[in-house]
């Protein structure tokens, strides 16, 4: 019998959801702790490779990625020095295999390493969707007529249920009825890796006050809540020009008002996180020269932002450039073009 690899053996010893469902060939199937797996206890959908590169993927919930410390801890494996060495080797093996598959120019390599390799498909906006009340809401709010291409760029999901059907997902990480509520009363946007929805309530229904104004739904435990739009990122580049806003509607407002940013800029929203965490993300992708155009809400002063900026590690070491913009006609940029004037 071939000898079992240290990583496989450690999981086998620690994780009681590890079953003998299938141990033949290159993969083993176990019960998925992320989605709880199916009702039949002798079925398992989480497949793990049995040699380098160690990868995992659940065929039920699409939880997937490279085996790393977080993953092993999640399964209850104790991280010994030997395991750590093996994980280092695994990291290198994943990078090598990703390179072989020509992932290196795409963001997916980073997502892959972070355990977010699974890419969900965002439904295209169809002509009949253009009458959809959610999409009408955007046109009304910004007093413009967005094109289908713009709405797709903004990662709007016209109907959340369609997303489920398109991606063949048979589970939902919340209460069942909530999907209907979110589809009917909320406008949803997909995060940049498609693993999370940011839903904003736009319609009222007195019978349904359960969910509040904002909702975030993660399809993947490791999902990074980053909302940004741009066609693609060239990871061979080290220069990056960013438009940053507090929320999604701020970015759409800037896009609508200032066409000059439509070419060559990446739009990213903080969504309640710090400016620093957004910048850290792009630095982790290998961007070392970043120009930041920060379209700030008026409840934070320039002094506060500059103070944050000075305290951040990368901007001071790498010498990023910061410009702060404000809308002197309102509190933020999530408004029609006619209601924005730069201070
Ligand atoms: Zn699963």
Domains of the chain: 6-113 (no CATH), 127-218 (no CATH), 227-339 (3.40.1360)
Q: What is the pLDDT of residues 174-210, one digit of tens each?
A: 777 788 888 888 899 988 777 788 998 888 766 666 6
pLDDT at 249 over 90: yes
Residue 169 CA to ligand 1 center (angstroms) comes to 11
Residue 19 CA to ligand 1 center (angstroms) comes to 15
Residue 119 CA to ligand 1 center (angstroms) comes to 15
Residue 130 CA to ligand 1 center (angstroms) comes to 34
Residue 45 CA to ligand 1 center (angstroms) comes to 6
Do 205 and 225 meet the contact criterion of CB atoms below 8 Å apart? no
The secondary structure of the chain in percent helix, strand, coil, rounded to multiples of 5, reads 35, 20, 45
Do 316 and 290 meet the contact criterion of CB atoms below 8 Å apart? no
Residue 115 CA to ligand 1 center (angstroms) comes to 13
Residue 25 CA to ligand 1 center (angstroms) comes to 21
Taking alpha carbons only, the member of 278, 208, 272, 215 closest to residue 243 is 278
Residue 339 CA to ligand 1 center (angstroms) comes to 46
Q: What is the pLDDT of residues 278-324, one digit of tens each?
A: 888 888 777 778 999 999 999 989 999 999 898 887 887 778 899 99
Query: What is the separation of C-alpha 270 from the centre of its chain, rounded to a whole number of angstroms?
Result: 12
pTM of the model: 0.68
Residue 118 CA to ligand 1 center (angstroms) comes to 12
Residue 180 CA to ligand 1 center (angstroms) comes to 22
Residue 86 CA to ligand 1 center (angstroms) comes to 25
Q: How many CB atoms lie within 10 A of CB 173?
A: 15
Residue 61 CA to ligand 1 center (angstroms) comes to 4
CA atoms of 337 and 175, how far apart (whole Å): 39
Residue 63 CA to ligand 1 center (angstroms) comes to 6
Residue 198 CA to ligand 1 center (angstroms) comes to 22
Q: What is the mean pLDDT of residues 83-102?
A: 79
Residue 58 CA to ligand 1 center (angstroms) comes to 5
Residue 32 CA to ligand 1 center (angstroms) comes to 4
Q: What is the mean pLDDT of residues 121-133?
A: 84
Report residue 222's pLDDT band, with 50, 70 and 90 as the boundaries: low
């Amino acid at each position: 019998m071939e000898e079992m690899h240290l990583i496989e053996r450690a999981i086998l010893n620690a994780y009681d959801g590890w079953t003998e469902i299938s141990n033949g060939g290159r993969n083993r199937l176990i019960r998925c702790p992320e989605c709880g797996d199916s009702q039949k206890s002798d079925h398992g959908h989480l497949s793990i490779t049995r040699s380098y590169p160690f990868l995992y993927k659940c065929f039920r919930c699409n939880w997937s990625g490279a085996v790393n410390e977080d993953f092993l801890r999640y399964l209850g494996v104790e991280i010994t020095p030997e395991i750590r060495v093996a994980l280092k080797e695994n990291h290198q093996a994943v990078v090598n295999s990703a390179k072989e598959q020509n992932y290196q120019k795409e963001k997916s390599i980073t997502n892959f390493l972070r355990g977010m390799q699974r890419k969900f498909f965002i439904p295209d906006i169809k002509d009949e969707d253009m009458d959809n009340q959610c999409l009408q809401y955007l046109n009304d709010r910004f007093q413009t007529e967005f094109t289908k291409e713009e709405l797709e760029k903004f990662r709007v999901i016209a109907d959340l249920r369609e997303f489920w059907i398109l991606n063949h997902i048979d589970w939902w990480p919340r209460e069942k009825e909530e999907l209907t509520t979110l589809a009917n009363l909320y406008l949803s946007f997909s995060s940049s890796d498609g693993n999370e929805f940011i839903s904003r309530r736009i319609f009222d229904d007195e019978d349904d006050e359960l969910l509040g104004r904002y909702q975030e739904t993660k399809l993947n435990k490791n999902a990074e809540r980053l909302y940004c739009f741009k066609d693609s990122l060239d990871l061979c580049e080290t220069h990056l020009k960013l438009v940053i806003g507090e929320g999604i509607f701020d970015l759409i407002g800037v896009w609508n008002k200032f066409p000059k940013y439509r070419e060559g800029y990446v739009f990213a929203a903080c969504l309640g996180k710090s400016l620093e965490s957004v910048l850290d993300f792009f630095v982790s992708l290998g961007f070392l020269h970043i120009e930041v155009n920060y379209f700030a809400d008026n409840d934070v002063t320039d002094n506060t932002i500059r103070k944050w900026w000075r305290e951040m590690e990368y901007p001071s070491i790498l010498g990023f450039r910061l410009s702060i913009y404000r809308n002197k006609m309102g509190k933020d940029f999530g408004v029609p073009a006619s209601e924005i004037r730069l201070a």
